[in-house]
Amino acid sequence: MAIRVYLLFLLFLSSAIVTYSLYEDQAGLMDWHQRYIGKVKHAVFHTQKTGRKRVIVSTEENVVASLDLRLGEIFWRHVLGTKDAIDGVDIALGKYVITLSSEGSTLRAWNLPDGQMVWETSLHSAQQSKSLLSVPVNLKVDKDYPILVFGGGYLHAVSAIDGEVLWKKDFTAEGFEVQRVLQPPGSRIIYVLGFVNSAEAVVYQIDSKTGEVVSQKSMEFPGGFSGGISSVSSDKVVVLDSTRSILVTIIFLDGGISFQKTRISDLVEDSGNAEILSPLLTNMLAVKVNKRTIFVRVDGEGKLEVVDSLSDETAMSDSLPVADDQEAFASIHHEGSKIHLMVKLVNDLDTVLLKESIQMDQHRGRVHKVFVNNYIRTDRSNGFRALIVMEDHSLLLLQQGAIVWSREEGLASVTDVTTAELPVEKDGVSVSKVEHTLVDWLKGHVLKLKGSLLLASPEDVAAIQEMRLKSSGRSKLTRDHNGFRKLIIALTRAGKLFALHTGDGRIVWSMLLNSPSKSEACERPSGISLYQWQVPHHHAMDENPSVLVVGRCGSDSSAPGVLSFVDVYTGKEISSSDIGHSVVQVLPLPFTDETEQRLHLIADTNGHVHLYPKTSEALSIFEREFQNVYWYTVEADDGIIRGHAMKSSCSGETADKYCFTTRELWTVVFPSESEKIISTLTRKPNEVVHTQAKVNTDQDLLYKYVSKNLLFVATVSPKGAGEISSVTPEESALVVYLIDTITGRILHRLSHQGCQGPVHAVFSENWVVYHYFNLRAHKYEVTVVEIYDQSRAENKNVWKLILGKHNLTAPISSYSRPEVFTKSQSYFFAQSVKTIAVTSTAKGITSKQLLIGTIGDQILALDKRFVDPRRTLNPSQAEKEEGIIPLTDSLPIIPQSYITHSLKVEGLRGIITAPAKLESTTHVFAYGVDLFYTRLAPSKTYDSLTDDFSYALLLITIVALVAAIYITWVLSEKKELSEKWR
């Protein structure tokens, strides 16, 4: 009965509050938002003018941004689409930022000060090819400044002023690939050098005004070229031949072409495969041979000569002009925990203009890129500032021997996220003083009271806001009673692990998995995924929690794996091991050992599974459950899902007792001509479900089919696998399946004719909600499928239930063939979706909200009540009271229910939810290029007072009441006395 009252109470609350929303002054109290740009690919400095010094960068996350050189803040930023990779960035006319993207087919100009788009030109593109952006510095044609762009087989000259195409030259027929566009100063003829089929060097001389070919010279090179090219001067380039052992200098002076071959073995003794490095240096090129970087000078006749050689781990910048027709370049190399920045003259490598040593955090790894910029010091000498990109993708500005600012750009490419608890507050440790004295406390509350009574002045409002932000110790590094303070552990593409505090989003610790001090066996491990390894509670309270990072030593799927165990409290690696077998899948098992370490199975390419941790205790636990552990694989390319069971211990000489073989139990084969797997999904393994029963209005009972061994699979016709609306409705069909992963039984199949992917789905408790495109209606649709267990439906006798004579809590097996039935309903949804998640709470009692990451990079919270198959057009009174919403054809998008309010999580890729200790509340963390965190209470905080609850008002009321009681008592005493005397 208590539960019923509780549920009714909940229901009341949830029906009373339709949307989650907050007031303007509540923004930023529980949520935080961090803006990033990603790993920088190109950087162009803009420091000439006396205004704000800035650097324009383009990144691997397809962001073009303008950063403040003094503070590293973002002036402006544009996130281009995921398919709109930036190929080149430059500044034209001193006021426009030019970006070339989408493989050379889109050229845009952005206004330098404020980042507004000035013009955009789509360039004709016929075939896939390398793209090239060239902004000639002093080429002027009839008051116009052409920008030369090669991409898709065409060379375009585009006006820098308005983006109009001045002329274009079609090279598709010849298969000509432009490598360099060179422009001798003072001439209107441009040289276009390229290769045909990587074996013939062709030089076109093109009139920059009309685009006419003045002359064309070509020369075959037997053996062919490989990709690397370095242009050393306006009439010479150096390329590598296809064997990577000969450097070829191509001289195309005065319309003629000549080759000059130099064997690398003639330059250095022990030569291997060479690689031309990207820095553009005048009359010089950098070649990487045998883990050394050699500098090769090219003289006037094209002769090559080695002038210097450096260790492999040296990063170099392009050369830049300094005073007196000299050019300089920067190089950075590591030495211990320090990095050494050197700026040298290109012509004279012995002249070191600048030499600085800077202490560098080990966990930033190696320097990947250097961009250097000079400025004139007050004493007329050259000063240099260097922008460096580190291995962990972070961006730092070095100037005068110090790190001026740094940006943790690794967080723009988060690949996996988990959460962890903070340490418990120790008895001895005193709580940091939040409210100092009673007077301060009262003052604060009086201010709050003023605010709530609308009496506060603007200064007071500001003070209140500031107080709220600082209040309640939300950024303390200890666990709190409500579980609001947690750590978000994020693994980035660079292989760095970050721990972010939920209170204010600061980085508590960070750790590069492949820090240089590690062993040589695995040179560049890449992190794949992140698991909670040890979550201590109950008896293992003294242990620190830890996470498991599974990595791989190469990009190949058969490359050996690496396991790394990281202590969550300290951010230190406890241990790491090269496991000696490949990793294709990691299966966390629902068992833990004495110290709360979770058992994991790691499957390799041979179909064997390996048990971790490798302890005898884990082995005995696993052997107990040996028969009940299954494993399935989804082979999307072949359209096959396979189920495996454990068979026996591995045999063979390399086998240990923690290795087990598997046998195939079942396969589900989708016909390849009609169905292609595009999406699969299971429930989150740690989701908590409060009850197995679903109660209808008329007290009717439905038993949810709550199983963790259910796989949702969506397939489309192969024709419909492409872009939306690329097929007719007749040609495309979407089919969804619910498959039991133990037996391979298909529990449910639902086909949507005339529909198409991409499918975004969320699976929780006994329901799946998925989003797809309906080609007939030309709209997006959302369908909900709820699964119920028919075989338990007989358990309806009250007396049996009261006396406990039922089998509802008995363990169930998939082999008992549960009969299920489903209910489903579809709705239109007005928005395209990037990802869907669902809130999760500690006990699973609170109603759920779908968190929909929309195409506009915002997150919409939609009550699960809107996607309820029980919705009807005219719900009865009782149904209305239960909170069933009348059926509408489309799902409402209520602007107030955007949990990101006015912010955008640019490049949104995923949403993670984690329960707080307080049942009503859930943590939401969204990641993309930006990061966003907030706390949600889908049914409002029914189990706690809100933050803005006025304790002062309560206190004042109590004091006033006590005073009133005392006064009236005194008065009544007096009156009584006078009555007596009368």
Which residues of this protein are in contact with another protein, per CB under 8 A?
A: 1, 3-5, 7-8, 528-529, 552, 557, 583-585, 587-590, 601, 603, 625, 628-636, 643, 680, 682, 685, 689-693, 695, 699-701, 703-704, 706-709, 741-742, 795-798, 801-802, 808-815, 881
Among the listed residues 589, 447, 508, 476, the one whose alpha carbon sits nearest the alpha carbon of residue 953? 447
Whole-angstrom distance, CA of residue 501 vs CA of residue 422: 9
Whole-angstrom distance, CA of residue 207 vs CA of residue 210: 6
CB of 740 to another protein, least distance (A): 9
- Given a contact cutoff of 8 angstroms between Cβ atoms, the answer to whether 647 and 660 are in contact is yes
- Given a contact cutoff of 8 angstroms between Cβ atoms, the answer to whether 20 and 30 are in contact is no
Question: How many CB atoms are closer than 10 A to CB 760?
Answer: 22
CB of 62 to another protein, least distance (A): 21
Q: Name residues whose C-beta falls within 8 Å of residue 802's C-beta, 6 or more positions apart in sequence.
A: none
- Given a contact cutoff of 8 angstroms between Cβ atoms, the answer to whether 297 and 305 are in contact is yes
Q: Which is nearer to another protein, 533 or 703 (CB)?
A: 703
DSSP 307-322: EEEEETT-EEPPPEEE
CB of 588 to another protein, least distance (A): 7
CB of 951 to another protein, least distance (A): 27
Whole-angstrom distance, CA of residue 55 vs CA of residue 47: 8
- Helix (H) or strand (E) run with residue 200 in it: strand 200-207
Q: Which is nearer to another protein, 477 or 812 (CB)?
A: 812
- Given a contact cutoff of 8 angstroms between Cβ atoms, the answer to whether 943 and 965 are in contact is no
Q: Which pair of structure tokens corresponds to residue 943?
A: 């189990």
Q: Name residues whose C-beta falls within 8 Å of residue 974's C-beta, 6 or more positions apart in sequence.
A: none
Instruction: Identify residue 720 by its one-letter amino acid code.
Output: G
**Cα dist. 243→17, 248, 289, 776 in Å?**
71, 12, 13, 55
CB of 757 to another protein, least distance (A): 15
CB of 608 to another protein, least distance (A): 14
CB of 17 to another protein, least distance (A): 17
Whole-angstrom distance, CA of residue 925 vs CA of residue 912: 5
Q: Which is nearer to another protein, 178 or 621 (CB)?
A: 621
CB of 972 to another protein, least distance (A): 14
Q: Which is nearer to another protein, 47 or 814 (CB)?
A: 814
Give the pairing type, strands 659-669 and 640-649.
Answer: antiparallel
Instruction: Identify residue 538 by its one-letter amino acid code.
Output: H
Q: Is the peptide bond before 613 cis (omega within 30 degrees of 0)?
A: yes
Q: Which pair of structure tokens corresponds to residue 519?
A: 């062993």
Among the listed residues 934, 929, 490, the one whose alpha carbon sits nearest the alpha carbon of residue 499? 490
Question: How many CB atoms are closer than 10 A to CB 343?
Answer: 24
DSSP 864-876: GGGG-TT--SS--
- Given a contact cutoff of 8 angstroms between Cβ atoms, the answer to whether 316 and 331 are in contact is yes
Burial of 136: CB neighbours in 10 Å, binned 0-12, 13-18, 19+: buried
Q: What stretches of 387-512 show up as alpha helix (H) in DSSP?
A: 438-452, 458-470
- Given a contact cutoff of 8 angstroms between Cβ atoms, the answer to whether 513 and 527 are in contact is yes
Instruction: Identify residue 118 by its one-letter amino acid code.
Output: V
- At residue 474's C-alpha, the angle toward residues 468 and 476, to 5°, is 140
Q: Name residues whose C-beta falls within 8 Å of residue 303's C-beta, 6 or more positions apart in sequence.
A: 260, 262
CB of 587 to another protein, least distance (A): 3
Q: Which is nearer to another protein, 680 or 756 (CB)?
A: 680
Per residue, the 3-state secondary structure of 604-624, as one string, reads: CCCCEEEEECCCHHHHHHHHH
What residues are paired with 308 via a beta bridge?
Answer: 295
- Given a contact cutoff of 8 angstroms between Cβ atoms, the answer to whether 411 and 931 are in contact is yes
Among the listed residues 840, 841, 879, 835, the one whose alpha carbon sits nearest the alpha carbon of residue 858? 835
Burial of 254: CB neighbours in 10 Å, binned 0-12, 13-18, 19+: exposed
CB of 642 to another protein, least distance (A): 9
Q: Which is nearer to another protein, 223 or 758 (CB)?
A: 758
CB of 69 to another protein, least distance (A): 39
Q: Which pair of structure tokens corresponds to residue 158?
A: 């585009």
Among the listed residues 317, 316, 309, 264, the one whose alpha carbon sits nearest the alpha carbon of residue 291? 309
The alpha carbon dihedral of 492, 497, 499, 504 has a sign of negative
Residue 465: phi and psi, rounded to 5, are -60, -45
Q: Which is nearer to another protein, 813 or 872 (CB)?
A: 813
Q: Which is nearer to another protein, 691 or 941 (CB)?
A: 691
Q: Which is nearer to another protein, 663 or 796 (CB)?
A: 796
Q: Which is nearer to another protein, 234 or 791 (CB)?
A: 791
What residues are paired with 569 via a beta bridge?
Answer: none
Whole-angstrom distance, CA of residue 732 vs CA of residue 675: 10
